[in-house]
Amino acid sequence: MTATANRENRTLGSQRPAGAGRGAAGTGSKPSAEPEEKAKAPKKSLFKSKKFIIAVAAVLAVGGGAYTFLKPTPVVPPSGGEVVTMDATTLNLTGGHYLKIAVAIQLVKGKATSDAFSTSHAAELVIDEFSNRTVASLSTNKARKALTDQLLNKIKDAYPGEVFDVFVTQFVTQ
């Protein structure tokens, strides 16, 4: 029983009567028992508190949603679609010679269809590009490729966003 009595005495002895330990005006420092109780209480870590975890989860959710909503869409390069074949055209060359040329135009997939594509302006551009030339200027592959590239650029300018490529399907000089 003495151990119990000593414990009771210590508990009773550590408590002070009201107003004890204070100065004459009744104000003073806090009793020394309160800081000891605070020191004994386990401190919660900021990272383990429920409010912190909820705040982090909310920030991650908002950030993920903003990323998926605002991320840039990848730019898909155009691809070739339908091919429109033009009839062969016979053109006059210098020196009494002739050129028979046929052209096929490949349209951009999803932008133009062969039913709605009018080839009249493209036929005019073919005539302008290849007529009144010499046979010698058309006889090399390099020259034909250069003229075909120029024709492609002119047709792309005439039909913006609709033409993917131009193919020369028939090329006969006489």
Least-confidence region, from 4-18, 31-45, 149-163: 4-18
Separation CA 155–CA 157 (nearest Å): 5
Over residues 60-82, the pLDDT tens digits come to 999 988 888 888 888 878 778 88
Taking alpha carbons only, the member of 92, 107, 77 closest to residue 167 is 107
Does 130 reside within a domain?
yes
Does 111 reside within a domain?
yes
CATH at 102: 3.30.479.30
Does 132 reside within a domain?
yes
Average pLDDT over the chain, rounded to whole? 79
**What three-state secondary structure class fits 56?**
helix
The packing angle between helices 120-130 and 141-158, to 10°, is: 150
Does 47 reside within a domain?
no
Over residues 111-169, the pLDDT tens digits come to 878 888 888 899 999 999 898 889 888 888 998 999 999 999 999 999 898 899 999 99
Does 49 reside within a domain?
no
pTM above 0.85, yes or no: no
- What's the total number of domains in the chain? 1
Model confidence band, residue 102 (pLDDT cutoffs 50, 70, 90): very high
Does 32 reside within a domain?
no
Instruction: Classify the C-alpha dihedral 144-156-125-102 as positive or negative.
Output: positive
C-alpha to C-alpha distances, 172 to 6, 128, 160, nearest whole angstrom: 122, 17, 30
pLDDT, position 115: 85
